[in-house]
Amino acid sequence: MNMDKINKIIVIFIWVIGIYFWIVKDFWYVVVGIFVLHLIEVFIKGISVGSKAGKSKLYSVIMTLIFGFTWWLPVQKEFD
């Protein structure tokens, strides 16, 4: 398994932990924090990197919101 897939699995695990804490402990700050960071990434890098790679804007937004830099950084490295 390559490092890009491992990083994506780690991000999913962080999302799951955040959702768990939100449901069990009413500690929603983790989920909001992850979402806000990824939302910022959408506008800073996600859409532009996805467009250069031939991905649709919607796909780029969704992938960046879920995976953040673990999605757009490997895509960007393909074009550098």
- Return per-residue pLDDT of the chain as tens, 80 residues: 788 899 999 999 999 999 999 999 999 998 999 999 999 999 999 999 999 999 999 999 999 999 999 999 999 998 77
Residue 31 has a pLDDT of 94
Residues 3, 22: Cα–Cα separation, whole Å: 29
Residue 70 has a pLDDT of 95
Residues 22, 56: Cα–Cα separation, whole Å: 32
The answer to whether 67 and 5 are in contact (CB under 8 A) is: no
Residue 22 has a pLDDT of 95
Residue 26 has a pLDDT of 92
Residue 11 has a pLDDT of 95
Residues 50, 74: Cα–Cα separation, whole Å: 11
Residues 26, 66: Cα–Cα separation, whole Å: 21
Through-space distance between the first and last CA atoms of the chain, rounded to whole angstroms: 23
What is the residue range of 9's domain?
3-79
Number of domains composing the chain: 1
